[in-house]
Amino acid sequence: MAPVTPTLECRLINACVASYAIKDGKLSPSAPGYAQIGIKPGTVPTVFTDGIEHINAGYVAQTYDDWVFLVFRGTLPPFKGDFWAWITDWLNDFRIGPTTWTVGGKPFGQVETGFASAVLDLWPMVLAALKPIDLQTKKGIIVTGHSKGAAMTFLASSLLKGQYYKNLLIENCCYAAPLTCDTTFRNNYNALGIRPFTVRYQNEYDIVPFLPYVPALDALATAERLSRPEHANLTINDAIRARQLKNDYVPVGIVRYITTGCAIEYGERAEKDAWDALLDALLHFRFSEIVEAHAAVGRYSTCVCK
């Protein structure tokens, strides 16, 4: 039998997995997921990094079927230790609050400052990586990322379509994206015509796509009180909740919800089932399942590539 060619979505999650292996400004062909990306023979990805300890990173790759992949890396290390420390780590990404995002010199909406800074720091290198490519001979650019990298994809897509490559097909397929942008950003993003080409995969039990959604924080607070011997909120406190009330972050694009059985749900049913499943996991203290659901090498890989 001839080998089965991976789907585009499978290749993209493998591109995300490979991005975690970026080291010293390079991406080794032996990196997990690299062989499944479908990189054009005779080309190598152009890697870019920035920030303290190169915390912001990604790459541009040309594919054998004439796509250009723009990949942003997430930054969270593999989870070890206390669940509440992991949650604190994630909530720290939202501690600065929103900032105004601009496209073409015009206000585009409010976005999370940490994610905005990461994209802007890398952006000159992104443009430099794209410049040598004859984009007119390509199908388009697909922007992808997992976790924090997924948050960055919406901002990058808005710049590509709204400012730099208005006549080029820009697609976005990301995994485990946290809430990143406000309603104004989403409306302007949709007005660019990108929404039909923007898909965000979300695993059952993954809490990150609900952060920093206030009802999710309330559910976390309840779970924390019930699960701690002292019945107190040491992580999800009033100050955190009050800070997030100032945000108006909303999901962007079209959700594809992955159940534990690898079924894919869409639309309102997907949104409801995702929330109901997470709430049940929190209130029954299934914290390890919540963390495992966020991993790029978990169901995001196995189910999408099934």
For the chain, give every domain's residue range.
Answer: 8-302
Report the CATH number of the 8-302 domain. 3.40.50.1820
CA distance 214 to 87: 14
Q: What is the CA radius of gyration of the chain?
A: 19
Q: Which of 82, 5, 73 has its CA nearest to residue 45? A: 73
pLDDT tens over the chain, length 306 residues: 445 689 999 999 999 999 999 999 999 999 999 999 999 999 999 999 998 878 899 999 999 999 999 999 998 665 667 899 899 888 888 888 899 999 999 999 999 999 999 999 999 999 999 999 999 999 999 999 999 999 999 999 999 999 999 999 999 999 999 999 999 999 999 999 999 999 999 999 999 999 999 999 999 999 999 999 999 999 998 888 888 877 889 999 999 999 999 999 999 999 999 999 999 999 999 999 999 999 999 999 999 999
66 C-beta neighbours (distance < 10 Å), count = 11
Task: Give yes or no for a contact between 114 and 131, defined as CB atoms under 8 angstroms apart.
Answer: no
Using alpha carbons, list the distances in angstroms from residue 241 to 94, 95, 140, 213, 288: 11, 11, 41, 9, 23
Q: Which of 8, 2, 68 has its CA nearest to residue 304? A: 8
